[in-house]
């Protein structure tokens, strides 16, 4: 197959992405539904998201991590460079079941960082390549098809493979952070039994978005590999 044919094949295989996009949309919808539902359910202990994150850190002997409020919805994250747990306005001061689950999840990442959790180290190591790959991987491969350049196609393929690798490594990192959060919540009575199930539902829904991101990355990588294979 010539390069122009490969170019058209890439776009004709776009149908592969339709179920992927639908799956991603459903996952995001489930996150929003779960968050909105359990944001209205208040924890019986009166603990805020910031309180829960602080207590989880304290239980694990971590004293050098700052907890701060940030703007936006579902913008919660742990920054390993500044050792900060950033909690959104809907989580930081909220006493809801959703807030406690999310805050403890982010604190779980802080625990991973403190103990040198190996998958987290790998993920952090590939972040630079992932950023380049997400920006240039597909465009380079497409330009390579248009310019009849195998070199550009292969460079684009390798760069985008880093994106897929990042999404793959992200799964155990996120699942482990949620498991740490839920174990701590249950063992230390942050929530009662019924409330605990709500927090679990929120974190389970959130985990599916990472599965969707991996599925999308693998589908895109498959399309690029298919082009390389068909060119032979």
pLDDT of the chain along its 232 residues, tens only? Answer: 455 555 555 566 667 778 888 999 999 999 999 999 999 999 999 999 999 999 999 999 999 999 999 998 889 999 999 999 999 999 999 999 999 999 999 999 999 999 999 999 999 899 999 999 999 988 888 888 777 788 888 899 999 999 999 999 999 999 999 999 999 999 999 999 999 999 999 999 999 999 999 999 998 888 888 776 665 5
End-to-end CA distance of the chain: 7
Q: How many domains does the chain have?
A: 1
Q: How far apart are CA 80 and CA 48, in angstroms?
A: 23
Instruction: For residues 87 and 226, give the distance between their C-alpha atoms in angstroms, rounded to a whole number.
Output: 42
Buried b / exposed e over 116-125, threshold 16 CB at 10 Å, is ebebbeebee
Domain span at residue 176 reads 3-231
Output the pLDDT for position 20. Answer: 87
- The DSSP symbol for 42 reads B
Catalytic positions, written as ranges = 106
92 within 8 A of 149, measured Cβ to Cβ? no
Q: What is the pLDDT of residue 150?
A: 81
Q: How far apart are CA 16 and CA 14, in angstroms?
A: 5
């Amino acid at each position: 197959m010539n390069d122009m044919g490969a170019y058209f094949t890439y776009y004709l295989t776009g149908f592969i992405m339709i179920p992927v996009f639908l799956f991603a949309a459903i996952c995001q919808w489930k996150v929003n539904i779960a968050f909105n539902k359990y944001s209205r359910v208040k924890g019986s202990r009166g603990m805020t998201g910031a309180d829960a994150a602080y207590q989880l850190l304290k239980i694990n002997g971590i004293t050098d991590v700052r907890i701060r409020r940030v703007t936006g919805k579902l913008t919660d994250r742990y920054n390993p460079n500044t050792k900060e747990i950033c909690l959104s306005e809907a989580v930081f001061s909220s006493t809801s079941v959703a807030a406690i689950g999310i805050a403890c999840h982010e604190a779980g990442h802080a625990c991973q960082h403190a103990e040198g959790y190996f998958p987290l180290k790998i993920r952090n190591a590939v972040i630079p390549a992932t950023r380049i790959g997400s920006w240039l991987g597909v465009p380079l491969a497409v330009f390579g098809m248009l310019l009849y350049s195998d070199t550009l196609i292969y460079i684009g393929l390798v760069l985008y493979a880093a994106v897929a690798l990042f999404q793959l490594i992200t799964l155990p990192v996120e699942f482990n952070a949620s498991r740490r959060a839920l174990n701590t919540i249950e063992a230390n009575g942050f929530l009662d039994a019924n409330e605990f199930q709500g927090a679990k539902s929120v974190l389970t829904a959130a985990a599916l978005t990472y599965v969707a991101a991996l599925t999308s990355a693998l589908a895109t990588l498959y399309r690029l590999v298919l082009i390389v294979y068909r060119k032979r």
